[in-house]
Amino acid sequence: MLVIGKSEANFTDMGMKYFQIIIVTLLTTLSSQAGTPAQAEAIVEEHKTLMNAWRTELAGAKSMEMIQLIIAKKPDVQAYKSRMIKEVGAELTKPWALKYGGWLLSNTPLGNKDVQFIMDYAKKFHMNAPDLGDFCYNVALSKQAVLPKKLFIEKAYKKIQDPKQKGIAAISLAIILSELGDTAINNARRLDLVKQAIINSSDEKIGDTSVGEVAMEMVYRIQNLSKGRPAPAVNGIDSAGAPVNLTQYKGKVVMLVFWSSFDLNVEKTIELLALMRNIEKQYTSKKFALIGVNKDQIANLRELEKEAMTSSKNISDPEQNVFKQYRVGEAPHCYVIDQQGNIQFSGVVGSFATLTIDALFSRVKPRNPVPATP
């Protein structure tokens, strides 16, 4: 059993509670041997190697059956999470542990309390760390509520003196702000942070990419996929090979739903398809179109359509060209496009999307001006 030192014991009662959650609850048998940077790095490299091999195999899949089999063989990150916690759990006050605490945040499914626990340790012991900007990027990618992440990164951003690390913190904060909407003020602040990141840290590596690549991606999203921006042109084909593009739906409200038969489990996929059909039916009397964008192999899409499981119109996108154009990384996801072809919503297929549709149909039409009396 791990022995907690005095400096840790005095941290806070809440910190102790989180310590028990992340260490004792998740790992019932921990070695008393202290972790080392070399052992932690070996865990990172082993997981990275397995994930790269898995992605290569998935990219080479030639059928839906192969895709589903390979997805089922995805390396279990839980085992790596447990091993990493064992290495760094008792070492979180040490400078080397910040990097691997960050790896846990961005690569494993920690709960909000566990994420907060690691952030609290960073706040108490590592606010002058030379790699604090890198840690901020991991915080930005973690499955934590937006506000705690924002508060932590803002505090770290003010503390960091090294320009390169400050640039990484800047792009991390811009990522967080992207979750707070597309208002003009918010977008202006995001662009300011992106500029700082490009100037200071463009070539710095973060995860599997670079600050410059993340920054350019963010600029694209702000300029092309923000609320009120014209929706990117869509030129695809349906399962019968007929062309589908947004210009065909000019004057209509359009919901683009990005989906597949394998991103969710079978039950959730059936629920999603039923929801899409219900939304389409709900607006039958309106100038409305629901267009699915499906990344299955075309034979699988045809089979689903034959069984009447899908909405009436779907773009076949097995190469994910439209997915990439709309920057959809995780399906399902939807965009709502107004009668003028402008984006009005981006997010989950559900009530917020349909409320946006209702609002677009409820817009008050401008009255013709009354001529002035001579």
Whether 366 is covered by a domain: the verdict is no
Q: What is the pLDDT of residue 111?
A: 87
Mean pLDDT over 341-361 rounds to 94
Q: What is the pLDDT of residues 280-319, one digit of tens each?
A: 999 999 999 999 999 998 988 999 998 889 998 999 999 9
Are 220 and 88 contained in the same domain?
yes
CA distance 169 to 318: 36
Whether 302 is covered by a domain: the verdict is yes
Whether 82 is covered by a domain: the verdict is yes
Q: What is the pLDDT of residues 272-282, one digit of tens each?
A: 999 999 999 99
Are 43 and 161 contained in the same domain?
yes
pLDDT over 90, % of the chain = 70
Are 213 and 327 contained in the same domain?
no
Q: What is the pLDDT of residue 30?
A: 40
Cross-strand pairs, 206: 209
For every residue of 32-43, DSSP letters joined together read SSPP-HHHHHHH
Q: What is the pLDDT of residues 245-260, one digit of tens each?
A: 999 999 999 999 999 9
User: Which helix (H) or strand (E) element contains residue 77?
Assistant: helix 77-88
Mean pLDDT over 71-77 rounds to 88
> What CATH number does the domain containing 309 carry?
3.40.30.10
Q: What is the pLDDT of residue 41?
A: 96
Are 77 and 204 contained in the same domain?
yes
CA distance 318 to 320: 5
Please check the confidence at residue 242 and state whether its pLDDT lies above 60.
yes
Q: For the chain, what is the mean pLDDT?
A: 87
pLDDT over 70, % of the chain = 88
CA distance 311 to 297: 17
Whether 62 is covered by a domain: the verdict is yes
In the chain, the number of structural domains is 2
User: Which helix (H) or strand (E) element contains residue 213?
Assistant: helix 211-224
Residue ending a domain, choose from 178, 195, 224: 224
Within 10 angstroms of residue 186's Cβ, the number of other Cβ atoms is 16
Whether 157 is covered by a domain: the verdict is yes
Are 136 and 211 contained in the same domain?
yes
Residue ending a domain, choose from 195, 224, 253: 224
Are 219 and 239 contained in the same domain?
no
Whether 96 is covered by a domain: the verdict is yes
Please check the confidence at residue 105 and state whether its pLDDT lies above 70.
yes
Are 43 and 130 contained in the same domain?
yes
User: Residue 317's domain spans which residues?
Assistant: 235-361
Mean pLDDT over 341-366 rounds to 88
